[in-house]
Structure 1
Amino acid sequence: MNYLSVENVSKSFGERHLFKDIAFGINKDQKIGFVAKNGTGKTSLLNIIAGLESPDDGQVVSRKGITISFLPQEPDLDPSLTIEETIFAGDNPILKTIANYEKALLHMEEADAYQKAFDAMEAAQAWDFETQYKQILFKLKLDDLGRKVELLSGGQKKRLALAQMMLTKPDLAILDEPTNHLDLEMIEWLEDYFRTENITLFMVTHDRYFLENVCNEIVELENGKLYSYKGNYAYYLENKDARVAAWEAETGKAKQLYKKELEWMRRQPKARTTKSKSRIDDFAEIKSRAHERRNDHTVQLEINMERMGSKILEFHNVGKSYGDLTLLNKFEYVFKTGERVGIIGKNGTGKTTFLNIMTGALPPDTGKVIVGDTVKFGYYTQKGIAIKEGQKVIDVIKEFGDHIPLKKGRTISAGQLLERFLFDRKKQYDFVERLSGGERKRLYLCTVFIQNPNFLILDEPTNDLDVVTLNVLEQFLLDFPGCLVVVSHDRYFMDKIVDHLFVFKGDAVVENFPGNYSDFRAYEGGISNAFAKAEKEQAQLENKQKFEASITQTASDNKSWKEKQHKGALSFNEQKEHAKLEREIAKLERQKEEKQKVFLNPDLSQDEITEESIKLQKIIDDIEAKEERWFELSSKMEE
């Protein structure tokens, strides 16, 4: 069954043509990964499919009656809402189903309407919607349901938009880099969800294990043309190599034919027969095919790396805390020449703090860090490149000099260097603010590498980079002769680049694991997965029992809640309000206790005592008002 068709779509920006006359379809149960270089129109195509942009030519046709959800890189959420309110503010068909059911409960005498609403609840599995959204938010580390969207980080907003999209259970989900801002545990959970859920996907992601394990088709946009591969990422790589080899063979034949036809054209045959006219017309096409070139340049940079001495980087009894949060405690390690270390761990366990201590940007609280005299750090941070208004790409590199020194006394111009980082002459004079996210990352990498470091520190270097650039970057790093420390959520990248791991487990525990990420998962995965599964099943059971208890008239009643009269039961919104009141009352009680402790201070003036008394009375009034409403709802449950 066809869900959506892209019909001869074209898109340009000024003289820059992204793609022309491309066409493909998305069918039910397909999970398509979309692959292309940065700056070639991935996000533009996703926006066109989602209806956020209009193509220059062509059209996108979707099947009537299907639901389509789009997850952009920068979600647009209402900042005034809380996390929980955002879930209920979305255009979620399940919420409409619940509302219809509650309306039908008020008119039980209309049997047909009630049965229809009841069947809709069954079909949508809407009975445990509260359990579903809380589980998803918990997995995405969004468990403070009352927190305002305006207070969330960019990554938290992206995760909230992802949760909102997942809860709508769309027929077709369009995703732009869904794994960005997710830690490894979240990525593996999302991977499992998409692999097993009955949902059709069209997504852009740089995570190649995600492509491998989730997708059943890869679509590549290259030089304005689409190529489809009916398989996962490994199948795509194998068959792309075969396609490129066939293309090169055909190009070789075309060049030979071109030489032959060129000689014939130079002889300028006088006889203008129908056959000769046809041959002349075909010559232009042969010439075009013979002169086609693949834009497969690779990032090349001859590092003029200073030789490292015997002393590189040493940590001795290093400790670092923020208040009660201890990130490092008596950490010891001595780096050796050529070490390649990957750093993994949940967000908030101190990974970036550790990198800042390494480079001297942040002092340790205890212990000392010794840096060798010959060490020159190259630090790629998550902040990326600082964009200056009106600055062109080539101006960024010229800040380091018009000519960059290479090995053996040779130099290279700023323009030549940019060409090695896949910025052609025309692109070099684009304004930096016009670059795609991935192109800015590539430019930033260039500024880090050209300073000739012998100790590279890369904090999430793979975010927003396309798959093609990632392969190129990996090859460069594999040849890098210095020390390398990488923080990344890209499992494929880590497996290929690093030799051992620092695993930040929280509570100042840092484990030195001898192997890559896949080795680590194989070592710890069995026990942790079994524990997580049991914990999830127990939580689901408890939430289900709690929900069913809230709508059951008596605990001793053996009848199914589906068979009971709903006269005295709370509506869905009232159940939600009842649970929210319990949380708010508990929070206010804690505030009351803290405020009461203030009066123990003997140094309080009379004015301060009066001011604090007013605040305390306000808290007490709030508690009483909320308790009154809570008792009102509780008594309704017992009717």
Structure 2
Amino acid sequence: MSILSVERISHTFGDRWLFKDLTFGLQKGDRVALVGINGTGKSTLLKILSGKTVPIEGKVVKTKDLKIGYLEQEPSFENLTLVSDFIYSIDNDIQQFIKEYDFLIRTEQTSNPRLQELADILTIKDAWNFENNIKTILNRMGIVDLEQPINKLSGGQRKRLSLAKLLIDEPDVYILDEPTNHLDIETIEWLENLLTIGQKTIIFVTHDRYFLDNICTEIKELNEGNLYSYKGNYGYFLEKKAEREISDTASLEKNKNLLRKELEWMRRQPKARGTKSKARIDAFYDLEEKTKSDKRKDSLRLDIKLSRQGNKILELNHINKSFGKHTIVDNFSYIFKKGDRIGLAGKNGSGKSTFLNLITGQELPDSGEIITGETTVFGYYKQGGLNFTEKQRVIDVVKEVAEYITTGKGETITASQLLTHFLFTPEKQYNLVEKLSGGEKKRLQLMRVLIKNPNFLILDEPTNDLDIDTLNVLENFLENYTGVLLLVSHDRFLIDKLTDQLFIFQQEQPIRIYNGNYSDFKLEENPVKKETKTSNTTEPKKDKVKLSFKEKREFEILEQEIAHIEFTIKEKTEQLLSTTDHQLITILSKELEVLNNDLEEKSVRWIELGELI
């Protein structure tokens, strides 16, 4: 039984239908990922489910007293002044007791008799676990000053504050719009664990494929106003989506052939038509409408000429930078080389953005020397967002940088043609920037960086608000990018795929240079330890099931085979993402289906033997 559902809902954006006649429901324990390209209406659909937006047609149905928690892309805090006002709900008695108790502790009023009174109340109400849970969540989200004014918080701090409140309230349904934005990797991994404990009901939008795979039990794709459902993980979704698109293409061609025949019949018909003719005419118009919705979408193309790069690129000699008593960069030296692909890893606030500002000259070091090569051209994509005036048009934002651009093939194209490559239709190019979706603004910002033809590309959280399709294109471009790449991202998939070296930032410690990607680093930091325990107790020993030599050997071989299959699946999935050849897509989809079945079978046997051990 659905606890939250939509029935035949339709909604528009401007004069365009985002979707029509959508019907689906969420059952308790469902964890649904909503995917689709930017501008298809994912965030609007979440707003409708949360009750923030009323659909133009249809209705939302929910069970009685259902508590919904909604994380917006850009949270608002109406009529609230301090962080504590938002965290502790005025209508929740226990939260108000905890707020008062926490205030007395923080202001060191330990002799205040009210403190003991509150402690007794929290004991009677069995609220100490809840109080501890609140502190854990706030610490994880980096929220330490509860008396800080909300209007002084950055966009990232507001997003984390909103997420913290939602997690504290433990709603019946979690509706999350890009929950990993502005979180560091360690916090994302903690959030994954929290959301998969218990039978939580979740529907979320994310660009983070590791997060998506680790959380969801079902994927719903919003595509050209229709909703397609896939039970399974992201790999399964890609496979089945490819099969659907092949089928849709075949149906479209069949409809077009039929339409040509029907069009000839329409032209031959006299003006006076009978009932049978009218039915056929109606069928003709239905068929005509179907052929208009060609699902072979234009694809985003990133093809930018690279500026020539000399031998000297960038040298950092004994750089130091501090803010007050906090050391950000401590005696750091590095000489950048051609082909460097470096990821910056570390918690929020550890100094990654300051480091980027130093090497691009936007901040000066306290001491040390930064030498930039004469031919080095920086392309700096900041996480702060796109700068534009209120009434600026999309095409004007591009023309500010260049009216003509040279592509990787040496062709000269206009700003309008380049915008078309980036999936901005001629109509949208003359719209106001403020009317773009969050993801479209990010895509425009990325384009502005790339048209400068940089040979030293710095990307600070480029994945925020971009749809997965655009991310796949960006990844493909960056894989073939021959300049220096410096990447800050909480997207573990992106870091693993695009970097082979890390600068590790830890507060009040020197920057550590690590050769390898993020998964390599995590494996080194947290190796699987085999603990041998000794005990002096006289408890009787439990009988152990001993594996035969043959079973032990089978267990070891299965480990190797599973690792090999997983590697092969990863390779073939990447092939599938990077090709548009329908024949190859079909072959790869079938191969992935066989591999996934084989992986499941071997994994089950491996778990059985592992439990015996």
Common fold: TM-score over 0.5: yes
Quick one: distance in 2 between partners of 1:352 and 1:175? 26
Q: Residues 52-107 of structure 1, C-alpha deviation per residue, up to 9 Å, x if partnerless?
A: 111111111111132112122222336755444433225558659999xxxxxxxx
Distance 1:380 1:241, change over 3 A: same
Pick closer, same or farther for the CA change 1:506–1:97 going to 2, 3 Å.
closer
Q: Does 1:60 align with 2:55?
A: no
Aligned to 2:133: 132
Matched, 1:41 2:50: no
Structure 1 residues 81 and 283 mapped into 2: Cα distance closer, same or farther (>3 Å)?
A: closer
After superposing the two structures, state which structure 1 stretch, 21-30 or 508-517, moved more: 508-517
- Structure 2 contact 89–96 (Cα < 8 Å) conserved: no
Kindly report which structure 2 residues correspond to 1:551-630, keeping only aligned pairs within 5 A, or say none: none
CA deviation digits over 1:549-608, x for unaligned, max 9?
Answer: xxxxxxxxxxxxxxxxxxxxxxxxxxxxxxxxxxxxxxxxxxxxxxxxxxxxxxxxxxxx
| Corresponding residue for residue 321 of structure 1 | 322
Q: 2:143 aligns to what SS in structure 1?
A: coil
**What SS does structure 1 have at the residue aligned with 2:506?**
strand
Structure 1 position 48, deviation (Å): 1.5
For 1:96 and 1:328, how far apart are their aligned partners in 2? 41
Displacement after TM superposition at 1:480 (Å): 1.7
- Would the aligned equivalents of 2:305 and 2:410 in 1 still touch at CA under 8 Å? no
- 1:19 and 1:393 mapped to 2: Cα distance? 25
5+ residue gaps, structure 1: 100-120, 531-639
SS in structure 1 of the partner of residue 34 of structure 2: strand
**Cα contact 2:302–2:474 (8 A) shared by 1:** no
CA drift of 1:445 comes to 0.8
Name the aligned partner's letter for residue 64 of structure 2.
K
Q: What TM-score results when the alignment is normalised by the length of structure 1?
A: 0.74
1:241 and 1:123 mapped to 2: Cα distance? Answer: 58
**1:2 is matched with which residue?**
2
User: In the aligned structure 2, how far is the partner of 1:6 from the partner of 1:411?
Assistant: 49
Is this contact kept in 2: 1:299–1:476, CA < 8 A?
Answer: no
Contact 1:299–1:473 under 8 Å retained in 2: no
> Is the radius of gyration larger for structure 1 or structure 2?
1
Equivalences, count: 509
Match of 2:168, SS state, is helix
Q: Matches of 2:196 and 2:322 in 1, distance apart?
A: 40
Measure, in 1, the Cα distance between the counterparts of 2:24 and 2:125.
Answer: 31
Q: Is the 8 A contact 2:245 2:295 kept in 1?
A: no
Paired residue for 1:489?
490
Tell me by how many angstroms 1:331 deviates: 1.3
Taking structure 1 as reference, are residues 334 and 58 closer, same or farther at Cα in structure 2, changes over 3 Å only? Answer: same
- Equivalent residues in 2 for 1:226-245, closer than 5 Å: 226-245=227-246
Alpha-carbon separation, structure 2, partners of 1:324 and 1:122? 40
- The residue aligned with 2:560 is none
Q: What pairs up with 1:473-512 in 2 under 5 angstroms? A: 473-512=474-513
Residue pair 1:78, 1:86 contacting (<8 A) in 2 also: no
Q: Distance in 2 between matches of 1:252 and 1:204?
A: 33
C-alpha RMSD of matched pairs (Å): 2.9
In the alignment, the residues of structure 2 paired with residue 12 and residue 123 of structure 1 have an alpha-carbon distance, to the nearest angstrom, of 51
Q: Work out whether residues 249 and 296 of structure 2, in 8 Å CA contact, stay in contact via their aligned partners in 1.
A: no
The aligned residue for residue 298 of structure 2 is 297
Segments of 5+ residues of structure 2 without an aligned counterpart are: 100-121, 532-613
SS class of match (2:363): coil
Q: Shift in Å at residue 422 of structure 1?
A: 1.0
Query: CA offset at residue 280 of structure 1?
Result: 4.0
Answer yes or no: is 1:190 the counterpart of 2:195: no
Q: What residue number does 1:308 align with?
A: 309
* C-alpha distance in 2 between matches for 1:223 and 1:425: 19
TM-score w.r.t. the length of structure 2 is 0.77
Alpha-carbon distance, 1:501 to partner: 1.4
Query: CA–CA distance in 1 between the matches of 2:477 and 2:300?
Result: 7
DSSP-derived class of the 2:52 partner: coil
Choose 365-374 or 205-214, whichever is displaced more.
Answer: 365-374
Shift of 1:425: 1.0
For residues 55 and 390 of structure 2, the distance between their equivalents in structure 1, rounded to whole angstroms, comes to 29
- Which letter does structure 2 place at the counterpart of 1:237? L
Indicate the SS of the match to 2:196: helix
- The secondary structure found in structure 2 opposite 1:485 is strand
Amino acid at match of 1:342: G
Residue pair 1:321, 1:365 contacting (<8 A) in 2 also? yes
What SS does the aligned partner of 1:329 have?
Answer: strand
CA gap of 1:123–1:454, structure 2 versus 1, over 3 A, is: farther
Distance 1:334 1:379, change over 3 A: same
